Structure 1
Amino acid sequence: MSGHTGPAWRRPAAVLLLAAAAGSADAAADPRWEVGAVALGVDQQAYPGASDRVRRGLLLPYFIYRGDVLRADREGAGLRAFRSRDLELDVSAAAAFGASATDVPARRGLEPLGTMVEVGPRLRWTLAGTREAGRWRLDLPLRAVFDLEHQLAHRGFVLQPGVAWDREGAAGWTINLTAGALLGDRRLASTYYGVPAAAALPGRPAYDARAGLVAWRLGATLSRPLGRDWRVFGFARIDSVAGAANRASPLVTQQTGGTLGLGVAYTWLRSAAAAVD
């Protein structure tokens, strides 16, 4: 569920989203805050089930803050309500760029997909391990979805349970692997897969979307510092709509698709004070 139209620097949610990739890897030496910029190139599926691809190049500012309650770092952005040794509850945010009919001809005559902003609670449970040796974690985010390009119209709710493994390895490399599912309510499903009767075309019949599984997801992120101020990172993700609730939608034209991205981050300013933890 991604793509992009319009100036990227007018999308604060995208800035927070990319802060996760730009953050430093050495938690013990992290400053309280950082300001910098991220250059990113992405080649991605327009949305799960689409056969069309979207290619974008972005240059965005980013801001990282590692406070006790307010957090915007490489593990997400939001408000931390509770934290113990193994459990953490926060209010987090995410974003996904949209796609127009130009990007996806199958959506001709349908409302364009705007940049979607997700906000809601997330429970994180560390199951075993440490960052240095390899850490297993269960993530349970439940978020409301709003369309940034259509007056913050509510597009439904998304639940994305998943298991993650991350490790800070030798020579500064940090790796993160994730596996999970994307579940959406009927309103969200209709946004991506519904076809109103008035918009039906030959070869694209009307379709009433259903709540349920949107896609299965596998992802990987790899990053490494290049000196004190620079960091290079790459990521890949595979989405599959096998067994999805709306696999029969005429807007689903491919079962499996992938996303690839490569970027570099530059830290311009950082605080002398250390992060809270």
Structure 2
Amino acid sequence: MKPPRILIIAGSDSGGGAGIQADIKTVTMLGGHPMTAIAALTAQNTLGVEGVLPVSADFVLKQIDMVASDIGVDAVKIGMIGSPDTAQAVAERLEAMEGVPIVFDPVMVASSGAVLADEATIAAFERLTAAATVVTPNLPELEVLSGMSATSLDEMEVAARALAERTGTTVLAKGGHLRGPALTDMLVEPSGKVSRWHGERIDTPHTHGTGCTLASAIATVLGRGRALKDAVWTGRDYTRAALLAAPGYGAGHGPMGHALGVVPFEEIHR
């Protein structure tokens, strides 16, 4: 079976921990073929973001059209968008891709606290959310998208239900920002059906790129034609394994260990 073709629309992370770099590593590790439409460039490391350079909407669309017209697309992952014009243009392109699963990670703030989407761009996220198969907000992002508080599991569910009902899109609400030793994520469908995943919190500062990694893993599994719940299971398992394998680089929020501590080429060709 050929690897699923995953189109990644996101920003570049010069530190290699999140964004396009994390997406490519995740898709590759899960057996997919990553393709990219870079929507923004960033100058950053584990301590913060020093600069953001958005790519024009026309050039983002050109990247999408070039790979889609020749190679084809089995699933799409959207991350950092860069500008409201790009958000609207990408949404219009994706609305025309009938039958292609779309995973939207509504990136607003980096792990370091740097703002990666202004108010106008966030306002344009409504259309991207409606075009997506699933949207994967953390709690601060869920609060912005839903316009509701999400400071507890109960509030998280209410906000996710409201967002799913309003947009017609399934919401994977990530509970990592809640305090406590356990972590709960919940998948809320427009029908009101809720699925929950519980796990022990991994105590590490090296969490840069967790949202990108999870969304890209989900997109890769969906690109194989598997069900959304299966994709979430696999995505969460891989993300947790990468957290545990973090190499410990940098003085701030360091990158995860996407290769899981192995060198597969050497293992196969020894």
| TM-score, length basis structure 1 | 0.30
Higher strand share: 1
Larger-Rg structure: 1
| TM-score, length basis structure 2 | 0.31
Higher helix share: 2
